[in-house]
Structure 1
Amino acid sequence: MKIPFNKPYMTGKEAHYMYDAVHTGKISGNGKYTKKCQKYLKELFGFGKCLLTTSCTDALEMAAILIDIKPGDEVIMPSYTFVSTSNAFILRGAKIIFADSRKDHPGMDEDSLEDLITERTKAIVPVHYAGVACHMDKIMDLADRYNLFVIEDAAQAIDSYYTGRNGIKKALGSIGHLAAFSFHETKNIISGEGGMLAINDLHFAERAEIIWEKGTNRSAFFRGEVDKYGWVDIGSSFLPSDIIAAFLYAQVENIENIQCKRKELWNNYNNSFCGILDKVNKVQLPFVPEYASNNAHMYYLICSNAREREKLIDHLKTDGILAVFHYLSLHKSKFYEDKYEGEKLEVSESYSDYLVRLPLFYELTEMEQDKIIKSVLEFYNTYSIEEDNTHSLRRKVYK
């Protein structure tokens, strides 16, 4: 029995809605199912305005255009993130200022951000890693103080929440000026490839729709607001086919069921490892701050050194289980290492070297998860950190 890292889940209605979309006679962008998804998500999570995109990457690129990023502008973001977070702003000429990660969680270290702000800083891009909220009060306070934009990279954060100092709980992606979501097949709700831009500062709403429609006021024309449409701004073809939106709608309307199962799986992992791996084997388990919720996007372990991670992944592979590592810190990438001028980002680099993700998907059975848990525990019953102490990759223990 081989267990994959991920398996896309189908609710059973995807093909029906796609068939219906085809028979409406309109399968290009901004059709029946695009509108249904946007309305559903806007109302469910309290976003200002929603626009589906072909990817989270496209949503981030739209955000960079909307805040008018120009060459020389600086954008602060974590180094421990996917390349799309950075590329969207690099394409507009921005200089990326990378922040280190937190010691208790792979998300950006919010307390380090103020020292990174200069007169050229234009925006902060918090990435809600594993669907766990960054400390948004701290980030929004900085944005207000220095007149900066906040663009939430909520690629992994659908149906996750932040409780602010005022006690009000808000959905991630509804707090910053703009936010980008992913519906890639590895996410909680999916459309194969797909994304969404949430527009919470509504003064961006009209222009966002124009950029979304290739720089034209085509949407306003079809609503009867103008008598003809033409090229009025820069833009691109960011909107997805309505067939993709139809697939997504089957997922969106089942989000409660999907999330319930994913959280059950996540909790089973955590309950099985807590008090054993973290206490006996010094493995760092996922941390969820009191102000954040857990949307069960992923379950990860942080090993004590790189060799330990390599051995764990190999051990699981021998048992027919595919576990994977995650991001390589962007400041150390082949593309950016010659451009990076900041300090060593030690914590981010440690996550690049020591973090491993375990399979977590809707159709993971109880028997399969038990096998994964048993395999991990068997590995640590025989593995000795002392064997690897001679290696230079030993992780610093953070207090």
Structure 2
Amino acid sequence: MSAARPSASSLSVQQVLLCGAMIVTLSMGIRHGFGFWLQPIITERGWTRETFSFAMAVQNLAWGFAGPFAGMLADRFGAWKILIAGGLLYALGLLLMAVSSHPLAFTLSAGVLVGIAQSGSTYAVIYGVLGRTVSDEKRSWAFGVAAAAGSFGQFVMIPVETWLIGRLGWQSALYLLAGSALLILPLALGVRERRAKGGPAGHQSIGHALREAFGYRSFQLLMLGYFVCGFQVVFIGVHLPSYLRDHGLGLGVSTGALMLIGLFNIFGTYAVGMLGQRFPKRYLLSAIYGLRSIAIVAFISLPLTPASVYVFAAVIGFLWLSTVPPTNAVVAQIFGAQHLSMLGGFVFLSHQIGSFLGVWLGGRLYDATGSYDVVWWLAVGLGVMAMLTTLPVRETAIARPMQAQPA
């Protein structure tokens, strides 16, 4: 028997999808363009590429470590409160990012503060509401819609952010983005849940939920796969513009490539969300990781031209966030929706540890070797590992002792 959804009667699926998708569009759309700030900021501040990369790496790590706590609070007190706090912190972090003139201040603002803000304004919190509102058989589809919204945000915001930097300068562009982050606040009211008094039948404590999840092999394998996902996509998202520039390709190619990633990711996340309702999700995840490795090998082995960049962007874009719907759907399938935001936050923590290593090693090894080659091949090897380790995941609901039901 599925766990009760205390808020299902107070929110419509359409309302949650609309408001949740718009929130993810804003929060993910803003962050996907951070790679375009690398060159202007390090040029004006006189920093190395590693300095900027380290701040972005800390951002991903802060996002990951704050995610479980944001999810725990959202499950306990309501997602809308966490979303409002996330929107306020996002705006503040972007403002401080614009005025930070010391590497430590930049790391604390662009890294720690923005990272914490993202933990309270992105997928884990939104998926918790969706998991408690959408029926089990439509959950994978709903997660795909929300993930596609994040991709749409990237597609829309990438050209907007590059235009703002070119016309207004990088600092003024950050000021405007800070203002746009405040739009999350009114949208958060659209996912306000009515919490049932006394809790649902079969209530599970937070401690028991954590012990159960971390002691379950499939949960561990999902976390390992998500680690690889974070390493790959954040390395590419932050360092691809500089990689292309190093090879003589201009800003227009970089902008077009990231736009294509966002565009094709819309189709990829939605398609995988739909396929997750028909096929085993572990097979979908395994295929995604394997295809990513093949795409990267082809990209770095073939001659680099605008055409090859656009083809790579389209392929990797289709696979970009397509891991998100099946991974979160499997977590909900195994453990139920009661603690979905919290458990999704822990899975995402693994993703962000991988993100930290991907973006930081990108800058660190580039400064050490003058090339991104080592990190590209690391991304390939990790993808093969994730392809193999995802296959044994079990998707059936975990067996629990029968609990007494009220008369």
Q: TM-score, normalised by structure 2?
A: 0.26
- Bigger radius of gyration, 1 or 2? 1
More helix by share: 2
Larger relative CO (CA 8 A, sep 6+): 1 or 2?
2
More strand by share: 1
